[in-house]
Amino acid sequence: MQFTAQQIATLIQGKVEGDPETTISEVAKIEDAQKGALSFVANPKYEEFIYGSKASIIIVNENLQLNGGIKPTLIRVKDAYSSFALLLEKYNEIISNDGKTGIDSTAYVADSAKVGKDVYIGAFAYIGDNVVIGDGVKIYPNCVVGDKAQIGNHTKLNAGVKVYDSCVLGNKVIIHSNTIIGSDGFGFAPQKDGSYKKIPQIGNVLIEDNVEIGANTTIDRATMGSTIIRKGVKLDNLIQIAHNVEIGENTVIAAQTGISGSTKVGKNCVIGGQVGIVGHIQIADFTSINAQSGVSKSITTPKTAITGSPAYDYKKALKSQAVSRNLPDLQQRIIDLEKTVAELSAILSEKNISNK
């Protein structure tokens, strides 16, 4: 399938600079693009690739100043990165299997389940009693949707996803393969004999609209009430969200992060990979947490940036790191000063003796 520069510009509200009839049939990175490919440049570090690129069309920011002539047709937009993301979304819709509908003959759907229009349920999927599935939902092979669960319109469960009983998923949620929604929270009461008694986890997980969750992530059901993932949240692969946690809207969390029980994370936070957050604390809105940080206490001031373990102010941490790098030089200076002081003390001692 081919598209012209003018068609693309119309879709992303851009301005063509060059031949509006230039066509493309694929997308590629700027450094790898060949004739017939569409690419983009949003980061100034990649501007140099524009001048020698073989791409047919390149999307760039409208304020980009070029230093010479180029061969590709340009489409200038306000935000090249966002515009290219929109195009990839549309391209993915065309080449993917999201147009599938119907229920595979090997899938099990309980008689009491309510299934909306244009739904796809793949091979060996299991849909339990009293489940409610909205319109346009895609449930790929080997998924399990437990009793009384609810799935909103145009939500997509990739192969192997497990949604436990009574969990609720909103509209346009995407969950990638082998993720588990609603497994038991890690709750055990210590006994006098040293053993542990399991605390029943009778709550659920509530996921609001436009959330995307990566592969092999686990979100535990609440002990009571709900573990809540607010609208627009983006979770990477291999994340653990414990019972009764709440993640604020439009927060993004990178891989291998773990959040302990009953912690409340604010909206629009950015949490790096391998971050560990203890339970029962609050993380303020717009907080940024650097990768591999350990957060052991509440962050109450919005727009705070922290790093380290235990985590503390990011700018102060950078200053501390700078001092740490200079410690060997500082140590040598102290040794030299001590040597100089010792020599001066010896000279003074000799003068005092001679004066006597």
Which region holds residue 62: left if phi is over 0, alpha if psi is between -120 and 50, else beta? alpha
Please tell me the distance from the alpha carbon of residue 223 to that of residue 219, in angstroms, as a whole number.
13
| Residue 243 is a catalytic residue | yes
Please tell me the distance from the alpha carbon of residue 241 to that of residue 254, in angstroms, as a whole number.
12
- Closest CA relative to residue 172, chosen from 85, 253, 98: 98
Is the torsion defined by CA of 90, 96, 101, 107 positive or negative?
A: negative
Radius of gyration of the chain (CA): 29
Residue in the block written with tokens 């535990």: 220
Please tell me the distance from the alpha carbon of residue 41 to that of residue 176, in angstroms, as a whole number.
28
Q: Which residues 6+ apart lie within 8 Å of 182 measured at CB?
A: 146, 149, 162, 163, 164, 165, 166, 167, 204, 205, 219, 220, 221
CB atoms within 10 A of CB 234: 16
- Paired tokens of 240: 């653990």
Please tell me the distance from the alpha carbon of residue 128 to that of residue 146, in angstroms, as a whole number.
5
Active-site residue identified among 154, 176, 243, 280 = 243
Q: Are strands 240-241 and 258-259 parallel, antiparallel or unpaired?
A: parallel
Question: Which sequence positions are flagged as catalytic?
Answer: 243
